[in-house]
Structure 1
Amino acid sequence: MMIRNWIDKIIGNWERKLLPVNRIEIDAKKILRNFDEAKKRSGMEIWPVLKANAYGGGLEQVTKILKTRKYRYAVVDSYYEALRIWRVSRQKILLIGPLQPSNYSKINWKRVTLMVSDISQIWDLITLGKKVKIHLKINTGMNRQGIEIGELSEALKVIAGSEHVELEGLMSHLADTEDSEWTKSQEEKFVEAIDIVKRTGFKPKYYHLAASGGIGKVAIKELNAVRVGIDLYKGAIRLVSKMVKVRQVAVGERISYSGTYKFKKESWVGVVPVGYYEGLDRRLSNRGLVKYNGEFCPMVGNICMNMCLVNFGEIKPNLYDEVEVIGQSNQNSIEEMAKIMGTIPYEVMAKLSSSIRREII
């Protein structure tokens, strides 16, 4: 690990000397403000969800920003993400993604707590013979992960018979906080699970059901932690690029693959090196907008693997001028892009390529 960190440091120093054509800016003040607001609204412990490269914001960068805040767990999907966090912090981890039993012996269990959603996992952890803290996930109606209510007593019996596995937490996940009836049903099932756990004699330290959307929408007295994901990043991410080619295109000419856009008047066009590899979805072709010198200009033609084309009309942009691809304005926000694409903001954010340099501002 020491050699790896040394190599990473050398590579990082070399990369920082290069001026990037593309960069993602992470607003530290907004991240911290979002964290504090979530804590104030919920009145509970806040556990930031840093999986999927911190929702596209940059895992190491967001971890560094959060060093000024105290929290029990950073929530991640893989042990690889935990290792990346430990390059910049000694933060404890709640691992909620899949982990093969054959890898259990390689995990640093002093710094990792595991979400368990199947009884077979408990048996595998017992076989390991090491002290492990777990958070037992209950299927309350999303029907994705988690053990069934009917299996809970058996799972607790297995845990009770082990000196190695500690039930530190009980958890579930809300499927749709806009659906009050479904949320109420999940809430009732989680209360049922809590009652079973208590009757069996267990006293978990943590109970958590809500993510960002569930804050203020569930009222169970035992709840004492919230896993905050997308709310942590709202308004904090900006994608900026530069013009790498400028040309004038004549009336009647078409542009990019398949020629889906035909010019009705002579126009200046700029090539911006952000394409679908960088996370700019092809569904934004001929529909998305970028911001240039305070004005919004349309993307024209099909978005390519590593570039998109922008129509500046009568305005001739300068080579290497800055272009804002994702910002906070309604016209080019993450939310607006998601609306155009017919998807959710999570997808827009998670697709932002890790190849783009992240910078804390």
Structure 2
Amino acid sequence: MGLKDFKIKVSKENILHNYHYLKKFRNKDIIAVVKANAYGHGIENIVKFLSENGCEYFAVARECEAEKILSLKIKDIKIIILETVDELEILKNNENIHMVVNSFNDLLNLLDKGVSTEQLHIKLDFGFGRNGILEKDFFKLKELIENRNLKFKGLCTHVFAADYDDLISIEERFSKILKELGKDRFEIVHMQNSAGVMSVEGKFCTHIRCGTVLFGLQEIGYYIPSIKRSFRLDGKILDVKSIDDLKYIGYEKKENLNIGKYKKVAKIRLGYGDGFSKRSEGIMSIINNKKFKIIHISMDSSFILVDDSVKVGDEVEIFHDLEESINHLKVPHYEFLSCINDRIKRELI
């Protein structure tokens, strides 16, 4: 890493604050969702840090993410893979790896292949069309469980993208199915995601499943003032040049760019090769507590219109204002933060 390379700095203090706040808020243990490289925060560092501070359960989307956690060789943690696992050896060879069962046929296949039900979380789908056993199959599920006297590691559902009335309805339906299937057949029960944690108590659940909110990334309409953001993307100014001396800025002719009154352009070592999308052209950076526009993004570098106050070596922050960034990019924060790839170092501070 060069001195002027960009880093994602993650606040240990803020993550730990959020972790303890959410546990107390719902009085339940946490399943930390760390898929997509912990939403851009760095899966290895986050898992190590949270496990050292008492977190037992971690959830990922894919086998490759589970393998990253396994490589850390941390004892006494459990990893839940949220999507269907194709290669079942990862389950059979690691008793602390669990899998969410995403259809009735998947369940039959897993039982037929000899996967232990102590590694399975049954997921119920109440109409979101993502993953889970559909309501029309609930009777078959109940019949199978009773006939084989099955007990599972967990029962879960997902409540994302629902208004409050839908959330309450799902909570009630999930509670009813839990009672019908038998609470004693499931060691842990979880239904909320980050938005759901803020909206629904989940009083019959044993755990809350938190991803973005754990890192201080809150959804519009689901805001808790006590939650603290933990992510900061910053680096240094690599070079500053006079625009009058240039014909091109990056790969663009300067007359094709909206330069306005600015006379100087600064270069930073961050580009779309790092996962910093060209759609971010026009977004504001922060240098010396002032806002400056990013005018052009190439694969390995970006260029910022600056004034005489900006010097080589000055610190520059990207995505300082998440709401402003969301409005500019027209996508949620967890999308553009997760896109920043491993060329950018993650650092717990």
TM-score by length of 1: 0.84
Quote the offset at 1:73 in angstroms.
1.2
1:117 to partner: Cα distance:
1.3
Kindly state the Cα deviation for residue 258 of structure 1 after the two structures are TM-superposed: 4.6
Quick check: 1:276 aligned with 2:269? no
Q: Which whole-Å CA distance do the structure 2 matches of 1:210 and 1:116 have between them?
A: 17
CA distance in 1, matches of 2:82, 2:310: 50
Report the counterpart of residue 349 of structure 1 in structure 2.
Answer: 337
Q: Aligned pair in 2 of structure 1 residues 45, 338: CA closer, same or farther (>3 Å)? A: same
Tell me how far apart the structure 1 counterparts of residues 309 and 202 of structure 2 sit (CA, whole Å). Answer: 58
Which residue matches 2:78? 92
Given that 2:90 and 2:97 are in contact with CA atoms closer than 8 Å, whether structure 1 keeps it comes out as: no
Equivalent in the alignment of 1:7:
none
CA distance in 2, matches of 1:127, 1:203: 19
- 2:185 is paired with a residue of what secondary structure? coil
Q: What's 2:164 paired with? A: 180
Seq. identity, %: 24
Worse-superposed segment, 273-282 or 235-244:
273-282
Shift of 1:257: 4.0
- 1:207 matched to which residue of 2? 189
Q: Distance in 2 between matches of 1:240 and 1:162?
A: 56
Query: Are positions 1:340 and 2:328 aligned together?
Result: yes
Q: Deviations over 1:107-153 (max 9, x none)?
A: 33411111001122222222222424211111112121111122123
Identify if the C-alpha distance between structure 1 residues 174 and 266 changes in structure 2 by more than 3 Å, giving closer, same or farther. Answer: closer
- Residue of 267, 288, 291 corresponding to 2:286: 291
Equivalent pairs counted in the alignment come to 331
Cα distance in structure 2, aligned partners of 1:82 and 1:64: 13
* Contact 1:122–1:159 under 8 Å retained in 2: no
Q: Does the CA-based 8 Å contact 1:134-1:166 persist in structure 2?
A: no
Q: How does 1:209-358 map to 2 (within 5 A)?
A: 209-234=191-216, 235-250=229-244, 255-259=249-253, 260-265=256-261, 267-286=263-282, 288-300=283-295, 302-318=296-312, 320-326=313-319, 332-358=320-346
Q: Which of 4, 22, 36 is the aligned partner of 1:52?
A: 36
8 Å Cα contact 2:121-2:155 kept in structure 1: yes
Instruction: Tell whether the 8 Å contact from 1:113 to 1:135 is kept in structure 2 after alignment.
Output: yes
Provide the rounded CA distance (Å) in 1 between the counterparts of 2:124 and 2:133. 5
Q: Which has the higher contact order (CA 8 A, sep 6+)?
A: 2
CA distance in 2, matches of 1:293, 1:281: 24
Residue equivalent to 1:360: 348
Structure 1 residues 106, 181: closer, same or farther in 2, change over 3 A?
Answer: closer
* Cα RMSD (Å): 2.4
Residue pair 2:4, 2:238 contacting (<8 A) in 1 also: no
Supply the distance in 2 between the matched residues of 1:231 and 1:216 (Cα, whole angstroms).
9
Counterparts of residues 63-142 of structure 1 (less than 5 Å): 63-88=47-72, 89-90=74-75, 91-100=77-86, 103-107=87-91, 108-132=93-117, 133-142=119-128
- CA shift in 2, pair 1:277/1:334, >3 Å: farther
- SS for the counterpart of 2:95 is coil
Task: Tell whether 2:167 aligns with 1:171.
Answer: no
Give, as a single letter, the amino acid of the residue that structure 2 aligns with 1:176. Answer: A
Opposite residue 282 of structure 1, the aligned amino acid is K
Q: Distance in 1 between matches of 2:280 and 2:199?
A: 34
Q: 1:84 to 1:299 in 2, by over 3 A?
A: same
The change in CA–CA distance for 1:337 and 1:144 in structure 2 (over 3 A counts) is same
Does residue 154 (structure 1) correspond to residue 140 (structure 2)? The answer is yes
8 Å CA contact retained: 1:270, 1:310: yes
Residue identity matched to 2:102: S
CA–CA separation in structure 1 for the residues paired with 2:258 and 2:327: 25
Q: Distance in 1 between matches of 2:68 and 2:347?
A: 17
Gap regions ≥5 residues in structure 2:
217-228
| CA distance 1:218–1:272, change in 2 (3 Å) | same
- Does the C-alpha gap of structure 1 residues 40 and 285 become closer, same or farther in structure 2, counting only changes over 3 Å? same
